[in-house]
Amino acid sequence: MRKDRKPNRKGTAVDFAPHIGWIVEEESVRVFQAKKGELLKLRYPEAAVWDLISRYSQEADIIPKLAAICELNAASARTLLRSCLRSWLQAEVLLKAADRG
């Protein structure tokens, strides 16, 4: 489980909110915060997106991998990535990298 990574100033321009952790399970990723408990239970394809953003910060690195995993073209993979990022920013499990200070 990766709790934190360096703020990223390019690419997806997001980072994980403080005190967010996750567990990768066989068919899902559970995202939680110690004080609040489970916040999200992500299944495919969102779980794949979460895994990729935890490993890579550049959209250019994520898109081809996501396209291959989900059998999508690059434009559809980009749409999926950006949709997940918007949703998770709204849920406050991700922050814009500049918001981390």
pLDDT one-digit tens code per residue, 44-54: 999 999 999 99
CA atoms within 13 A on the CB side of 22: 23
Which of the 8 DSSP states describes residue 93?
Answer: S
For the chain, the domains span 14-100
**Is pTM, for the whole model, over 0.85?**
no
At position 9, the amino acid (one-letter code) is R
Question: What is the sign of the dihedral through the CA atoms of 16, 17, 20 and 26?
Answer: negative
CA distances from 7 to 10, 40, 84 (A): 9, 22, 19
pLDDT one-digit tens code per residue, 83-100: 999 999 999 999 987 654
Beta-carbon neighbour count of residue 45 at 10 Å? 17
